[in-house]
Amino acid sequence: MKKVNQFKAFVVFALVIMLLGIIAFTMRVDSNNIIVRTLNDGIAITQRAFVDVAHGIRDFGQSTFDLFTTHEENQRLRAEMYRSELLRIENALMREQNDSFREMLGIDATLDDFEQIVATTIGRDIGSWHDFITVNQGSHHGVEVGMAVVSAEGFLIGRVTEVNLTTSRIHFMKPHNSTVQTQVEVLDIPDSYGRLIGYDADLGELVVTLVPYHIEIEIGARVITSGLGDIFPRGLLVGYVTRYERTTNGLTQNIYLSNEVQYDDMKFVFIIKRAMNGIDDDRLEFEDVEDEDGESEEEAD
């Protein structure tokens, strides 16, 4: 039994000596010799094997997590599709009912009747990227100067300022303050009329003025066009309320809006052609209200 133990000790001692000899040899000779290369290759293969195994485990875990996440997203999207389908059915039934009422009352059109003209962007200058676009619809397609323009996301973004036979030029209200000035209202709040005066580049918000002070505004409320102007129909989404503040005279308030328009990727837009004329802007005026400095508020269109 003792001889066996001595033999094992001798083998271990010999292996240690050989290992130390190999290390000493590799430190003293050129690192490009075959032994060094063999050791390096063996270490590299072992490292790659461990790395591949680790990456495989990680990828398997990530794939499993993505699978569960995708399943949850699919369930949510199916529920949203079902709700959207219900809304489409409800909307179709309401339109059918409205058409019946109009026929009974002899009404041809209302302030919220409009036609959408789909227009594709065919020109955009680098120097005025956020100012203008040229689209492929013109007077031949029923486009007129002053018509409202809606983005693919459904937000009011500007108006037509130049019309040719087959093309039109659209001017964005961002970043210009005075491009679009029209009457708006807060959705589902009676008598919540105000005046959209455009986009404030310093604040990064759309500005609506002359809203009656007693109107209670909620953050996130939707603001739409009122249809009381001469060209814009009722129901175009302008934006969502981000904040509001009372004016210095305390008789009106300003509300500030945000939207989700992707101005850098404006492949197509909708030009809005209303079915009936609204009230002439010259006849629709808000009551002049003087502030503390004696300056009157700007009259509405």
What local confidence, expressed as pLDDT, does residue 94 receive?
75
- What does the pLDDT look like over 45-56, one tens digit per residue? 777 777 777 777
Q: Give the Cβ contact number of residue 207 at 10 Å.
A: 17
pTM for the whole structure: 0.58
Omega of the bond prior to 233 within 30 degrees of 0, cis? no
**pLDDT tens for each residue of the chain, 301 residues long:** 445 567 777 777 777 777 666 666 655 555 555 666 666 666 677 777 777 777 778 777 777 777 777 877 887 777 777 677 677 777 777 777 777 776 776 665 565 678 889 999 999 888 777 788 999 999 999 999 989 999 988 899 989 999 999 999 999 887 655 667 888 999 888 889 999 988 887 888 899 999 999 999 999 999 998 888 667 888 889 999 999 999 988 889 999 999 888 888 888 999 998 776 554 444 434 334 344 444 444 443 4
Distances (CA, A) of 220 to 80, 106, 208: 21, 37, 14
Number of H helices, E strands in the chain: 2, 12
Q: Can you read off the two tokens belonging to residue 99? A: 């058409």
H or E segment to which residue 128 belongs: none
CA distances from 88 to 93, 101, 114, 248 (A): 9, 20, 18, 44
Cβ-based burial of 299 (10 A; exposed 0-12, middle 13-18, buried ≥19): middle
